[in-house]
Amino acid sequence: MEVNYLNQVVLGNSIKSYLLFFGIILFGLILKRLFSKIISKFFFTLFKRFSKEIKIDTFLELLVKPIEFLITIIFLYVAINQLSYPLDVIVFKRITTQPIYTITVIDVIDKVFLFLTIISAFRILLRTVDFIAHVFAYRASLTESKTDDQMVPFLRELSKIVAIVLGVFVVMGMVFNMNVATIIAGLGIGGLAIALAAQDTLQNLLGSFTIFADKPFVVGDLVNVAGYDGVIEKVGFRSTLLRTMDKTLVVIPNKKMIDSPLENLTLRNLRRVKFNVGVLYGTHPKVIRKISEEITAYIQTHKETTQDDTLVTFDSFGDSSLNIQVLYFIEIVDYTIYMKIKEEINYKVMDLVLENGAEFAFPSKTLYHEFGSKGIPLQKID
């Protein structure tokens, strides 16, 4: 009786088939996470020698969910194949001499699941690329050179683009039964039109390769380009990301990065400081000479400045001041430290001027009011 009950047919399928359908789905939902972790750990053993520095948690975080999705698709496909379908055949008639083209329901289901399986497989491939890039990025962070830090993200993106293009061709060939070789040949014919339409994009792409070949800068360098001062954060296929001193993010096309004059501020070994100290007219020459000598002595003995390049001179007679020019170089390249040293020296210069009894000049005018026919100035106003 029990066997007969399981063999009863409802909507074209036996109760046993329905039980198998729901049982397989339930089994897959319960165990998909376990299976996914087991498969991920097995894959990690293949990369273990390559990635000794990286913990397995990073690998599992990248691959568990894509593998879990693939396992779900497989269980769902097996479950659906336990059922029969009310529509055995869908017929599409062509008004040609060719035979009638027919598609069964199971064919449609097979194509859908094949499509999802291919997508899942390439998704796992992309996550694997991310993991390999993560390993290389970690190794690059241990080296002094910043070139490898710049290359790793670029090669990761390039590998993922190649994988996506390959995935598209696989889907077109296996799911839609297209002739991939013919499509590739057709792309060769239409390549010129695509190149003309995407001329700027191609120029930016070539610009990225030029940047990697010439290495005018690397990630982390402070540069001045296109009117912006900032630190290079990333070099992509189309553009370069620049973090300015105001902490804003500027996106500059790679073509502009190689066509515009670029000043790599990180590569300089010194920072020059030049300014004028203006004292009042009437300051004695001996005082000016003493101020110049004391400023020179202080800067030359400062541990962060160069001794031979320091120059402090009585430079010019200004409109409202006697100008002492101060020129020196700071060996620290870091911008924040440079500003602190510059501030320290500026304060000392102010102290030396005031200690010698001199006063700082500021823009001023003297007006004379004349009275009488002889033109004798009777009143002077400063």
- C-alpha 355/C-alpha 143 separation (Å) is 50
**Which amino acid, residue 362?**
F
Q: What is the pLDDT of residue 234?
A: 87
Q: Give the Cα-Cα-Cα angle 211, 217, 221 (nearest 5 degrees).
A: 145
Q: What is the pLDDT of residue 375?
A: 52
- C-alpha 264/C-alpha 266 separation (Å) is 5
Q: What is the pLDDT of residue 3?
A: 53
305-313 average pLDDT score: 86
- C-alpha 193/C-alpha 206 separation (Å) is 18
Q: Is the pLDDT of residue 235 over 50?
A: yes
Most confident of 77-81, 115-119, 188-192: 115-119
Structure confidence at residue 145 as a pLDDT band (50, 70, 90): confident
**Which amino acid, residue 345?**
I
Q: What is the pLDDT of residue 205?
A: 79
Q: What is the pLDDT of residue 117?
A: 93
- C-alpha 216/C-alpha 151 separation (Å) is 14
Structure confidence at residue 99 as a pLDDT band (50, 70, 90): low
Cα distance between the two ends of the chain: 122
- C-alpha 36/C-alpha 141 separation (Å) is 31
Q: Are 234 and 280 in contact (CB under 8 A)?
A: no
74-94 average pLDDT score: 70
Q: What is the pLDDT of residue 370?
A: 62
334-357 average pLDDT score: 91
Structure confidence at residue 5 as a pLDDT band (50, 70, 90): confident
Q: For the purposes of burial, counting CB atoms within 10 Å of the CB of 261, is it exposed (0-12), middle (13-18) or buried (19 or more)?
A: exposed
In angstroms, the Cα distances linking 233 to 116, 242, 337, 338 are 36, 6, 21, 22
Most confident of 64-78, 79-93, 144-158, 353-367: 64-78
Q: Is the pLDDT of residue 1 over 50?
A: no
pTM of the model: 0.60
Q: What is the pLDDT of residue 293?
A: 93
- C-alpha 38/C-alpha 24 separation (Å) is 19
Q: What is the pLDDT of residue 147?
A: 73
Q: Is the pLDDT of residue 133 over 90?
A: no
| Structure tokens given for 107 | 């064919």
**Cβ neighbours of 73 (radius 10 Å):** 19
Q: Where are the alpha helices (DSSP H) in 1-146?
A: 2-6, 15-47, 56-80, 105-141
Q: Is the pLDDT of residue 125 over 80?
A: yes
Q: Is the pLDDT of residue 380 over 50?
A: no
- Residue 325, SS3? strand
Structure confidence at residue 179 as a pLDDT band (50, 70, 90): confident
Q: Give the Cα-Cα-Cα angle 230, 274, 355 (nearest 5 degrees).
A: 125
- C-alpha 281/C-alpha 320 separation (Å) is 7
Using one digit for the tens of pLDDT, what is the confidence trace for 6-50?
777 777 778 888 888 899 999 988 988 888 888 888 888 887 777
Question: Which structural domains are found in the chain, ordered by start?
Answer: 2-197 (no CATH), 216-267 (2.30.30.60), 271-355 (3.30.70.100)
- C-alpha 220/C-alpha 11 separation (Å) is 67
Q: Is the pLDDT of residue 93 over 60?
A: no
H or E element in which residue 263 lies: strand 262-264
